[in-house]
A and B are shown apart, each in its own frame.
Chain A
Amino acid sequence: MKHRSLSDRAFWGAGTILVVAYALVPIGWIVSLSLKPTANVADHKFLPSGATFANYRTIFKDPQFPAALRNSLGIALIATVLAVALAMFAAYAIVRLDFPGKTAVLSGALAIAMFPQVAIIGPLFNMWRSLHLFDTWPGLIIPYMTFTLPLAIWTLSAFFREIPWDLDKAARVDGATPFQAFRRVIAPLAAPGVFTSAILVFIFAWNDFLFATSLTSTNRARTVPAAIAFFTGASQFDFPTGQIAAASVVVTVPIILMVLIFQRRIVAGLTSGAVKG
């Protein structure tokens, strides 16, 4: 690459700073809000003048938030494992085997990715009540798994297509058992793709609000997004701004860390298939 002029560098540098500020301002704001003492919440300032962890203590003392956190983690993790497992079978078949209906599976999955989820909350609400799935973990795991399957199938197919499957044969010729060949050769090659789709599926399940608010009613299965939206203050006149901010920070930090650590993979996963199938 040629040397760039000073003004060129300044231009791109400014662009970079602008993008970083764009991404971080709301995060900084919510962190600041969560640290403000109640008396200062309405001071109209971006940065807190004094910091306190009182809001964090309050949300963890109340049973509502810890329960929601547990529900969110459990439901999102189980949905992720199930969706990725089912998608792995399907993606393997799509990439490695020849059978009619393969295109139908892929385009069906595509249709579901664009499906308006609000269109089925009424029927699901009614079905879940009669199947006793309303306000339970499986009641949310099932829709999350379903709506992330397309994403997982597409991402995994794209990754699996890049795997040199013939290495498996080579390993067998060299004397490896089928299981060894799978464990030592294929599994390590497939792992990054599987991991990437798991991250994307997890983010989806962690983010959902529509199903969580329609299909749950109590601490039994209500996840964090729904719990935050229904937070009530100590009195009805006292909107729990600081506590909502604190709860938001708690659920945001792990995701940001994950996104930053695995950014390369996430970008690859999100754009997989967009250019190269």
Chain B
Amino acid sequence: MTTTVPAPAAAGHAAAVSTSKPKVRRRARSERARAERRLGWMLCAPAVTVMLLVTAYPIGYAIYLSLHRYDLRFPTETTFIGLRNYGAVLGNRLWWQDLTSTLTITAISVVIELLLGFLLAYVMHRAIFGRGLVRSATLVPYGIITVVAAFAWRFAFDPATGFINGMLHTQRAWFTQQWSSYLVIVLTEVWKTTPFMSLLLLAGFTLVPDDVVKAARVDGATATQRLRKIIIPLMKPAILVAVLFRTLDAFRIFDAVFVQTRGAQGTETVSILGYNTMVSRLNLGLGSAVSVLIFACVLIISFVFVKGFGANLSQQRGEG
């Protein structure tokens, strides 16, 4: 899940440099420019090649496979069947159920993370003492393996081994009902990724000039007004980017669900569905159709954020 949130800054910078040169000694310059261009491409080539080979090629291959009946248990029966795999996936209740549960988990966790993350970022931004302590503590969940975090919470809620039931004086079997299974999964997600969210938001707090907030205070704005009318609008770019990244990250949720419920009680997510179809049931054709649909969902989510909410990655630098 590790993703940093970058800002495409180099572009504007580069353009500014290349247009401001005078036209003297043009040939020598173009010679040098060509050499520079070649060196630039050469230095980027290895990284770009690797990224293309391991992502673009397999996704193309997935599209190809999704148009075929291709089951590793019956490899001789491989045939081109057009869009029938997509029909099978989209016509199946399981896909829609899994998509709903993925979106539910994503929406609930991202909303909670945003609120908690904002609070946490505010504590880090304002805290006068124990700032380092808070920051260290925040980074602990970030560093922990998701599978480990998922087990820790699973054991905590387990009716046999857990301390939660002992604490609440109940005998609840948390993983036998849908709402309580969701609760534990969302809790795991929130616990693990809120720190990341809060760090991104903390960076956003630096976009809010202190004197503007102070001036508003002098003018008589209440704390809520300052938050709603000044801090949040100024932080909007940072908030949007953080939410976009976390939404896409939460949408691919796999580890926690796999460890805690394996998709039981209607908690199966689309990633689990893809994994089960391809790796457990070895149906690569059908599984690839699921993959391509997941890919399409991610594109749609990004599109909605960028076009609908105006999430602008370059705005992050305050230049956009």
Chain A residues near B (Cβ < 8 Å): 1, 4, 9, 12-13, 15-16, 19-20, 22-24, 26-27, 29-30, 33, 41-42, 44-46, 86-87, 89-90, 92-95, 97-103, 105-110, 112-127, 142-143, 145-146, 148-151, 153-155, 157-158, 161, 200, 203-204, 206-207, 209-210, 213-214, 224-225, 228-229, 241, 244-245, 248, 251-252, 255-256, 258-260, 263, 266-267, 269-277
A87 and B46 CA atoms in complex are apart in Å by 9
Closest to A266 in B: B139
CB < 8 Å neighbour of A33 from B7, B137, B161, B317: B161
**Complex contact A122–B291 (CB within 8 A):** yes
B44: interface (CB < 8 Å): yes
A127 and B59 CA atoms in complex are apart in Å by 12
Contacts known (A116-B298, A229-B258); A110 close to B61, Cβ less than 8 A: no
7 new A-B contacts, CB < 8 A, other than A24-B140, A99-B40, A149-B50, are: A29-B155, A93-B39, A94-B40, A97-B43, A122-B291, A267-B199, A271-B203
**Complex contact B37–A100 (CB within 8 A):** yes
By a CB distance below 8 angstroms, the chain A residues around B203 are 271, 274-275
By a CB distance below 8 angstroms, the chain A residues around B126 are 12
CB < 8 Å neighbour of A273 from B7, B33, B39, B143: B7
**Complex contact B4–A273 (CB within 8 A):** yes
Contacts known (A46-B163, A100-B37, A116-B252); A26 close to B191, Cβ less than 8 A: yes
By a CB distance below 8 angstroms, the chain A residues around B50 are 86, 142, 145-146, 149
**Complex contact B144–A125 (CB within 8 A):** no
Contacts known (A1-B128, A115-B55); A256 close to B144, Cβ less than 8 A: yes
B147: interface (CB < 8 Å): yes
A118 and B148 CA atoms in complex are apart in Å by 20
Contact segment of B106-114, B172-180, B218-226, B273-281: B273-281
By a CB distance below 8 angstroms, the chain A residues around B199 are 267, 270-271
By a CB distance below 8 angstroms, the chain B residues around A206 are 145
Closest to B132 in A: A263
By a CB distance below 8 angstroms, the chain A residues around B44 are 89-90, 93-94, 101-102, 105
A276 to chain B, nearest CB (A): 7
